[in-house]
């Protein structure tokens, strides 16, 4: 294990980057590529909308996360014993899809396709629990920002490859070859975890975990919520990205109202996503120097300013330079703030409870953010786009006031 002052080995960083990239590959396929391909084959919009329901395992995984922390493979290791078979199963499902024709899958076998994609999401969500737990154990606190840079960046790269990338090659390669390339990438990203000697480097310590059996779910999360200062921390966690959740869903609709085409928005999304990846990487490096509190304050401030600045675009959609400048800044700030928040969440994880403790925090933050985002359209219709973005920025600034209070009352500033 590295010391708190030493940067993790390159092999460790490659391992984490490969695992999070692997998670992004099926997500990009389901969220970005398949809706386009289904519509091209005449599938009804209502059925395409069902793809959103396939993401339910990512929200519900908190219900089985404690068992992922508790159960270990004697031969493969703890986290490795979950990741290898789950990702291998995803590759087999995608390989099976490659053997079928689009006319079959998008026609009479559409229920089969939806069922297989649900299994893929179930496996990917469960693998995410094990991967997060492995990340917390592998990285000393100072370098968890860098680890979360790889999490955010790797996941987005995977989504871009199987989303935008697959659509770019699909016309020339066709369905079967495109799926085969995706299988190849899933297998390649398995190599670092296959070579990782987890049983020697991170032996499982079952004495630190609750015994498996009835009541494990309640015992596990009750123990987490009983940690000192957890009430204040949950207030920080749930409020930190509410401003971004409120404002960001209305950026593209605003630009559509100002005449932006689908192609122009696609290009903006691609370039701004790359800025988000760069922001995540920069945020991870700065986190190691700033420490958790200063990183949260600085990156949270940039996040609030970025979403509030979108108000300047309400009557300026024709100024593409200004749109790109503010969109890139907002995405970079979002990447930096996400990395800092995820690293801070890792601080709250108990030994041998890492996967489930992180999962509960992430699920709570995602659920509340989704509910707030769902109301963004209603608020925009009531107070206008400018009012929405300024309100979202103000909400982001107000949330920062909880940070010094939490650190002063709950624990000393580390780093």
The per-residue DSSP string of 337-384 comes to: HHHHHHHHHHHTPPTT-HHHHHHHHHHHHHHHHHHHHHTHHHHHHHHH
Q: Tally the residues of the chain.
A: 415
266-315 per-position pLDDT tens digit: 788 788 888 988 998 899 889 888 888 899 999 999 999 999 999 998 88
Percent of the chain with pLDDT over 70: 96
- 213 pLDDT above the threshold of 50: yes
Give the mean model confidence (pLDDT) for residues 47-74.
84
Give the mean model confidence (pLDDT) for residues 337-359.
88
- Which of 233-242, 251-260, 399-408: highest mean pLDDT? 233-242
Contact 76, 84 (CB under 8 A): yes
CA 70 – CA 204 distance, rounded (Å): 9
This prediction has a pTM of: 0.82
Give the mean model confidence (pLDDT) for residues 120-149.
89
pLDDT of residue 224: 85
- 374 pLDDT above the threshold of 90: no
Which residues in the chain are classed under CATH 1.20.1250.20?
Answer: 10-197, 216-410
CA 37 – CA 43 distance, rounded (Å): 9
Exposed / middle / buried, residue 171 (Cβ in 10 Å: 0-12, 13-18, 19+): exposed
Q: Tell me which architecture the domain covering 10-197 has in CATH.
A: Up-down Bundle (1.20)
Task: Spell out where 68-162 has E strands.
Answer: none
CA 389 – CA 383 distance, rounded (Å): 10
Burial 347-358 (b: 16+ CB within 10 A, else e): ebbbebbbbbbb
Give the mean model confidence (pLDDT) for residues 333-361.
89
Better-predicted residue by pLDDT, 262 or 252: 252
pLDDT of residue 177: 93
Instruction: State the fold for domain 216-410.
Output: Growth Hormone; Chain: A; (1.20.1250)
CA 159 – CA 8 distance, rounded (Å): 25
Q: What is the mean pLDDT of the chain?
A: 86
CA 166 – CA 149 distance, rounded (Å): 24
Give the mean model confidence (pLDDT) for residues 326-354.
90
pLDDT of residue 414: 42
- 41 pLDDT above the threshold of 70: yes
């Amino acid at each position: 294990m590295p010391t708190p002052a030493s940067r993790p080995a390159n092999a460790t960083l490659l391992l984490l980057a490969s695992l999070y990239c692997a998670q992004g590959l099926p997500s990009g396929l389901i969220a970005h590529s398949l809706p386009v391909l289904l519509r091209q084959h005449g599938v009804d919009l209502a059925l395409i909308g069902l793809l959103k329901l396939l993401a339910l395992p990512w929200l519900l995984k908190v219900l089985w996360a404690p068992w992922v922390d508790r159960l270990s493979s004697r031969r493969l290791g703890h986290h490795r014993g979950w990741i290898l078979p789950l990702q291998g199963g995803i590759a087999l499902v995608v390989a099976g899809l490659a053997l079928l024709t689009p006319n079959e899958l998008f026609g009479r076998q559409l229920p089969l396709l939806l069922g297989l994609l649900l299994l893929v999401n179930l496996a990917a969500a469960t693998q995410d629990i094990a991967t997060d737990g492995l990340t917390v154990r592998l990285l000393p606190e100072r370098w968890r920002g860098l680890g979360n840079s790889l999490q955010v960046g790797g996941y987005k790269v995977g989504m871009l490859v199987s989303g935008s990338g697959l659509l770019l090659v699909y016309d020339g390669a066709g369905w079967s070859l495109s799926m085969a390339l995706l299988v190849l990438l899933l297998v390649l990203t398995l190599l670092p975890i296959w070579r990782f000697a987890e049983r020697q480097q991170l032996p499982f310590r079952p004495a630190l975990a609750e015994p498996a059996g009835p009541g494990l779910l309640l015992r596990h999360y009750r123990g987490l919520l009983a940690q000192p200062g957890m009430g204040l921390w949950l207030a920080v966690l749930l409020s930190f990205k509410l401003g971004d959740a409120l404002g960001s869903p209305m950026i593209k609709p605003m630009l559509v109202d100002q005449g932006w085409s689908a192609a122009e928005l696609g290009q903006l999304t691609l370039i701004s996503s790359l800025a988000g990846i760069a922001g995540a990487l920069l945020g991870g490096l700065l986190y190691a120097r700033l420490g958790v509190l200063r990183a949260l304050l600085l990156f949270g401030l940039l996040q609030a300013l970025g979403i509030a600045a979108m108000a300047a675009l309400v009557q300026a959609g024709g100024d593409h330079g200004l749109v790109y400048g503010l969109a890139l800044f907002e995405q970079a700030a979002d990447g930096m703030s996400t990395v800092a928040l995820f690293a801070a969440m890792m601080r709250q994880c108990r030994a041998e409870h890492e996967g489930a403790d992180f999962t509960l925090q992430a699920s709570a933050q995602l659920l509340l953010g989704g509910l707030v985002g769902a109301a963004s359209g209603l608020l925009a219709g009531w107070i206008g786009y400018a009012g929405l973005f300024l309100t979202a920025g103000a909400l982001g600034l107000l949330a920062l006031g909880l940070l010094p209070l939490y650190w002063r009352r709950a624990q000393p500033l580390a780093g």
